[in-house]
Amino acid sequence: MRSVSRKAPAKSHGFSWGRFPMGDTGVVAYRLFRRDHRGALHTRCIDLRPGDDRSAIAASLRRARRSLRDQVDEIDLESMGVAA
């Protein structure tokens, strides 16, 4: 089992993410962030185990990022009066 270190999210507009080991539980919380056109923050949180298959972890994170992107894009399109 590999160790996972904490990674703080970047302080910028657009997409960023953070990784937070949850003590002795063996769970690592991934938090994905994206801002909409107003600057409002939207998040997705996923709890994974570092011993899981790396390709499964990557696939889970890609699905979460895609879901977050779609949610924020829908909000942005709605504000512009464009049907998604």
What is the number of other CB atoms lying within 10 angstroms of the CB of residue 72? 19
Say if residues 9 and 31 touch (Cβ distance below 8 Å): yes
Say if residues 42 and 72 touch (Cβ distance below 8 Å): yes
pLDDT given at position 1: 43
pLDDT band at 82 (very low <50, low <70, confident <90, very high): confident
pLDDT given at position 63: 96
- The pLDDT of residue 2 is above 60: no
Q: What integer best gives the mean pLDDT of the chain?
A: 87
CA distances from 11 to 16, 17, 19, 50, 73 (A): 8, 10, 14, 25, 20
How does pLDDT run across 27-65, given as a tens digit for each residue?
999 999 998 888 889 999 999 988 889 999 999 999 999
